[in-house]
Structure 1
Amino acid sequence: MSMDLALQLMVGFSVGMAMLLAAVFAGYRQLALPWQSRLGGFVMLAGLALTQIAHLRFAADPAEAFPTRTYVAIVFLQSVGLYWLLLGMLRPEGDWRRIEWALPFAALALALWVPLTWAIPVALVMGTMVALHLCMLVYRLRAMRRWFALELKVLALFAAMAIAVAIGGFLAPGVLGWYGYVWTYSAAIALGFLIVGWLLLSVPDLVPKTREAVDVAYAQSTLTRVDRDAMAARLRQLFEQEQIHRTESLSLAAVADMLGLSTHQLSELVNTAYGVGFSRFVRQYRVETAKQMLIDEPRASVLSVGMAAGFNSQSSFYVAFKEQVGEVPGEYRQRRLKAARASG
């Protein structure tokens, strides 16, 4: 495969993924993000797509001056977009600081002021600093979820990729060449989209679980005047006897209302009493219900069992079941029914 064809494939893949993720930001109902983060996500995705298109145009005509002011401004703004997107996930709602509001204007001013010779390295160094700061915010939440190391490793990988591309930007004028820089940065963007797609498939409820961990990690104790044991017992009753987890639209706010607690109080109660976040707590009950239904109703389809247990899609059911049980629902049913026949 030629270098130019590989570049075309990476650009096409990146633009397609950018459009797909933009549609997710626009319509996914479980993506509980503040408007600043949604705006940042759109800016980042548009910036990455436009950057890749610029790379393709430059590769088609290497004699064209590169980089341009427009290209530099886009690279600066996509880093700000990434920062805004993940700040909305990794910090409490409403915790937005003045300096963060000023970042887009500062990035644009810097993009217009810095000499073009240094513009790309400076922009990519800024992107590296953004990734490293986000790693620090993720690390603060490490104790909240047992699988948290996955997200930290992904952000650390993004930071390493940003550092590598920044070095490429420094070497581009005299050593690597602008074409080498274009190919390196295009490959990094395509790899980034591939990793994000894999992460969303592996952890489909990543955003709500992260928001939940943030609420607990940053909150002061809100249960000083609450009978924790009584509330924990009532919570178990709601799930074990009334089986409220089988309601697909069940939310933290809805359960908090049933208990007469605030959402922060319920998050803290679940985390301190059971050592998990609310989303995982609900999923555990749904999986246990599904396990029983798979055996008690052998003629029911696996999908219908998942829906009856409270899951809203086949993918979320399979991921949660495999994570908790160690095998997919169909395999679990076959193994248990075969063991029952053998013992009977």
Structure 2
Amino acid sequence: MTALAILLAGYSVFSAAAVALTHLGGDQYRGLPQSRAMGLLLLLALSGLQLAHFADLYLGQAWTGSLAYRIALFVVAPSFYLFSRAVLHPLAAPVQGARLAVHGIPLLVAPWLAPPLALPAAFLLGAGYLLWLGRSLLALRQARARFHAEMALLGTACAIALGVSVLGLAPTLLPAQVFVSLYACAIGLALLLVQISLGLRPQLAVEVREAVQTGYAQTTLGKVDCDAALARLQGLMARDRAFTDPDLSLAGLAAQLDLSPHQLSELLNARLGKSLSRYLREWRIGAATTLLCEEPSASVLSVGLNVGFTSQSTFYEAFREIEGMTPGQYRTLHSPPAGRAKAPQASIGIPE
């Protein structure tokens, strides 16, 4: 187990850096500075814990008894709560002022706790936050049906964390090295499951937030001609190529359709079974596949920018998600042989 713990501790540091650069560094948290900041703080704390575990298990250095380790323990739960709150409760006001300060109280207490008390206290705090998370996930009945695989993976990660939290309440039941190994394995496995979830659905946070927001609101489509609205939406995409605007937002597109943002979000979720972000990605990737074959001299980056993506990384991420390969691989597989004229393609319709 010690060898596995050392391996997962090292993996966790690189995994946390990858999630910070790709997931938190993208466009998903635009307008959510608190979530982005708390997500980065969470990954930093988890990396710090895993470095301490690595030093303890592999180098024989007692970093797990340091003040920095105790502080990192008390950072994890509040930062995770503040990070995930905007996703699971998008209609709630941001945590500010005195309410935000309350979540910082454990950090002030941590330096004054003796190591034997710090570990159970930190895990008791974590168990409380995990119960909040479990309650929030159980409330997402409508959204869970659309994110079954991802919710199962994240739920498994939470179950692992809760199990370690229970062990952390009585660390003397296990030898110190065994507990450190279990904790290192738990963090590593949780990060692995998170990366798998993001690999299955890179825009998971955005799609869950939009689905939850629609689910919490009462139906807003009672007086809306849904078929006519969908036809107007089809026209904006196919005729006006509205999806090529990288700054296109739910509110902006809704205004063009004479709908409210809630109405457009509910229309997409109820009638097409997808969020706006997924809908736009499908249109953009559909247009990109055409350009990749029709303009073989155009760079992959220029194709991505022309269809509405803001960077090469987000283009590649979306392309892999929808087509299962990179843009370059798609171009190689689907471009006609040299000298043979390419048959004209039909115009793009509403993505399936």
Shorter-chain TM band: 0.7 to 0.9
1:300-315 matches, within 5 Å, as 300=298, 303-315=301-313
Percent identity reads: 35
Residue number in structure 2 paired with 1:233: 231
1:152 Cα offset (Å) = 0.9
- Displacement of 1:245 in angstroms is 1.1
Q: Residue 264 of structure 1 aligns with which residue?
A: 262
Partner of 2:149: 150
Deviation, 1:61, is 5.3
Q: 1:205 to 1:54 in 2, by over 3 A?
A: same
Contact 1:72 1:111 in 2 (8 A): yes
Q: What residue identity is the alignment partner of 1:153? A: A
The question of whether the paired residues in 1 share the 8 Å contact of 2:53 and 2:64 is answered with no
Q: Are the structure 2 counterparts of residues 243 and 209 from structure 1 closer, same or farther at C-alpha, using a change threshold of 3 Å?
A: same
Cα distance change on mapping 1:153 and 1:332 into 2, 3 Å:
farther
The equivalent of 1:244 in structure 2 is 242
Change (3 A) 1:17 1:65: closer
Matched pairs, number: 338
Deviation at residue 306 of structure 1 after TM alignment: 3.9
The answer to whether the aligner puts 1:159 opposite 2:161 as a matched pair is no
* CA distance in 2: counterparts of 1:237 and 1:139, whole angstroms: 38
Deviations 1:201-223 (A, max 9, x none): 44332332222222212122334
Residue 77 of structure 2: SS of its match in structure 1? helix
* Preserved CA contact (<8 Å) 1:284 1:324: yes
Determine if contact 1:286/1:310 at 8 Å carries over to the other structure.
yes
Kindly report the root-mean-square deviation, in angstroms, between the aligned alpha carbons of the 2 structures: 4.1
Residues 99-134 of structure 1, C-alpha deviations (whole Å, 9 max, x = no match):
964652564577579875454245334424533542
Aligned CA distance change for structure 1 residues 332 and 166 (closer, same or farther; 3 Å): same
1:228-279 Cα shifts (integer Å, max 9, x gaps): 4433322221111111112233222321232233322221222233222111
**Equivalent residue of 1:92, what SS?**
coil
The residue that corresponds to 1:219 in the other structure is: 217
User: In structure 2, what residue type is equivalent to 1:159?
Assistant: C
Change in Cα spacing, 1:151 to 1:102, as seen in structure 2 (3 Å) is farther
- Identify which range, 34-43 or 292-301, moves more after superposition: 292-301
Give 5+ residue unaligned stretches, structure 2: 344-352
Moved more, 252-261 or 198-207: 198-207
1:253 alignment partner, SS class:
helix
Q: Which of 169, 182, 185 does residue 183 from structure 2 map onto?
A: 185
Deviations along 1:171-209, whole A, 9 cap, x unmatched?
Answer: 6424x3112212221232233334434444443323322
Counterpart in the other structure of 2:350: none
| Partner Cα distance (2:52, 2:290) in 1 | 55
Shift of 1:285: 2.0
Residues 180 and 26 from structure 1, CA distance in 2 versus in 1: closer, same or farther, beyond 3 angstroms?
same
Q: Which amino acid aligns with 1:149?
A: H
- SS of alignment partner, residue 103 of structure 2: helix
Q: TM-score scaled to structure 1, two decimals? A: 0.76
Q: Give the letter for the 1:157 counterpart.
A: T
Deviations 1:145-164 (A, max 9, x none): 87512321222121222134
Q: Please state which structure has a larger fraction of its residues in helix.
A: 1
**Secondary structure in structure 2 of the residue aligned to 1:52:** helix
